[in-house]
Amino acid sequence: MSDQLKTRLIQIGLEQALVDEILNNGRLMKVRQDMPLISPGMKAEAMPMVISGTLRIMREDEEGNEIFLYYLEGGEACAMSISCCMNNMMSQFKAVAESDAELWMVPMGLIDQWMAKYQSFRKFIIDSYQERFDELMQMIDSIAFMNMDERLMKYLLDKKQSTASFEIEKTHQQIATELNTSRVVISRLLKKLEKEEKIELHRNRIEVL
DNA sequence: ACATTAAGTGATT
DNA sequence: AATCACTTAATGT
């Protein structure tokens, strides 16, 4: 398992000494599907790096309305958690395990040191920050400028990509909740997509063509 | 066979 | 695009 992480970290371009430090100082955390990792208002004490599985990152308001932002997949780090920790702030995000997942939790205290000590780590963090930022911008675009049917299609394609599978095992209600709309709307749009032969509908399952 | 949950649909705002 | 009200279909007990 930690071999898997090790090769991944080296692939990313981190030097051996740093990889060793990461391996020696983090801890493994296994999460089961649908387990919440963090909610707004909580404080993160470690930065998660995804070894396997995927995390779903969402925004959530006080009433429990939520909106899907992006997925974190194998090899990616939740760089956003750094900003909230460094400034001793509360999390602005909600993270849930989209599938069973293995995470490598790196204590925040070390992030600072490593950024100073290893230029490869600084680059890694800045790059992943950039990626998250880009995804957030995409999400703003899609919420502000796209119609619900385009948003839904984007959602389906995102999901397909993140799981490398054409099968999406979710109910219309779950999708509606993540996109912060109603089930009826999703059902109708999905039906339309099915007529356009972009997807196939089954109970609890959607097949992207 | 019956109850429960998911999905489909017309009508209205 | 949201909501209501209702139907139909799939699944669990």
3-state secondary structure of A187: helix
At residue A28, the pLDDT reads 92
Please, what is the average pLDDT of chain A?
Answer: 89
- When pLDDT is cut at 50, 70 and 90, the band that residue A1 belongs to is low
The helix (run of H) or strand (run of E) holding residue A28 is strand A27-31
pLDDT surpasses 90 at A181? yes
> How many other CB atoms are found less than 10 A from the CB of residue A99?
17
pLDDT digits (tens, 9 = 90+) for A112-159: 899 999 999 999 999 999 999 999 999 999 998 888 989 999 999 999
* Nucleotides in chain C near protein beta carbons (<7 Å): 1-5, 10-11
Cβ contact A186:A176 at 8 Å: yes
Residue, of A42 and A87, whose pLDDT is higher: A42
Measure CA of the first residue to CA of the last residue in chain A; give whole Å. Answer: 33
Give the least confident one: A7-11, A55-59, A69-73, A79-83: A79-83
Cα(A77)–Cα(A59) distance, integer angstroms: 18
3-state secondary structure of A109: helix
pTM of the model: 0.87
For C10, nearest residue by CA–C1' is A203
At residue A176, the pLDDT reads 95
Distance in angstroms, CA of A63 to C1' of C11? Answer: 32
Between CA A48 and CA A50, with CA A49 as vertex, the angle to 5 degrees is 115
Closest nucleotide C1' to the C-alpha of A205: B6
pLDDT surpasses 90 at A205? yes
Cβ contact A160:A168 at 8 Å: yes
- When pLDDT is cut at 50, 70 and 90, the band that residue A102 belongs to is very high
User: Is the CB of A173 within 7 Å of strand C?
Assistant: no
Distance in angstroms, CA of A74 to C1' of C11? Answer: 34
Closest nucleotide C1' to the C-alpha of A174: B6
Please report the sign of the dihedral spanned by the C-alpha atoms of residue A183, residue A185, residue A189, residue A191: positive
pLDDT digits (tens, 9 = 90+) for A5-47: 788 888 888 888 999 999 999 899 999 998 888 888 787 888 8
